[in-house]
Amino acid sequence: MEDARRSVEATGRSVDEAIERALEDLGAERDQVEAQVLSEGSRGLFGLGAEDAKVRVTLVESPASPEVQIAEEPWPASGEVADISIDVVRSLLQHMSVDATVVIREAPEDTEMPLVLDVEGEDLGILIGRQGETLRDVQYITRLIVSRKLQRWVNVLVDVGGYKRRRERVLRELAERMADRVADEGRSVSLEPMPAYERRTVHMTLRDHEFVTTESTGEGRHRKVVILPKRGA
């Protein structure tokens, strides 16, 4: 049975926009999902009777790993999961000629991650990359290898020196600060382009805000969050 936490439905003015919204809900990138178009929508006549496109987007392991069965590992992760995950990350570091240690950190209460591995050492910027792109790839590869070894999907989170924790804190503070500005000035503010999981952090931070709402605009790497005043607020 498909895990509901790993599949979402979303709508948008186009199929592409609906997929982007689903990616933000999942905190995933396009190459990590399968998308099913439920409805292509309709532009209507002169804008009348228009219908949004609707898609169902599901996280997948990899086309190269069809034998992996989907089953989430509950927290706390078993010793087997932790041992295999650490070995995989250490092997990746060795192949990248990076001298570092891997430690286990308990997952935050507001996430579904069963295991958080933090890479610690000196001069590890190479593992993070621009806007965390290299770190995202290391995490994705780790999940694929661990899931193949265990024959079930394990949602391991890989961090480097607490980078993701710091980045999330910065994004939350930025979102709240910009929300106050939008509420005071009554004008929308666009944030810099960022990956799906970072856009999701902004959306989640402001989802219950009394005076502002958020939406994403743009395509691909240029997609960004816009903070807007709520109508009637």
Determine the Cα–Cα distance for residues 12 and 1; give it in Å rounded to an integer.
27
Provide the mean pLDDT of the chain.
79
Say if residue 214's pLDDT is above 80. yes
Could you tell me the CATH superfamily of domain 165-229?
R3H-like domain (3.30.1370.50)
Q: What percent of the chain has pLDDT over 90?
A: 26
pLDDT, one tens digit per residue, over 182-201 is 999 999 999 998 887 788 88
Higher-pLDDT residue of 226 and 55 is 226
pLDDT, one tens digit per residue, over 45-80 is 545 556 778 888 887 654 333 333 333 444 445 588
User: What pTM was computed for the model?
Assistant: 0.62
Q: How many alpha carbons fall within 13 Å on the CB side of residue 10? A: 20
Could you tell me the CATH superfamily of domain 79-161?
K homology (KH) domain (3.30.300.20)
pLDDT tier, 112 (very low <50, low <70, confident <90, very high otherwise): low
Contact 19, 37 (CB under 8 A): no
Q: What are the extents of the domains in the chain?
A: 4-59, 79-161, 165-229
Instruction: Dig out the tokens for 183 from the structure.
Output: 């509420």
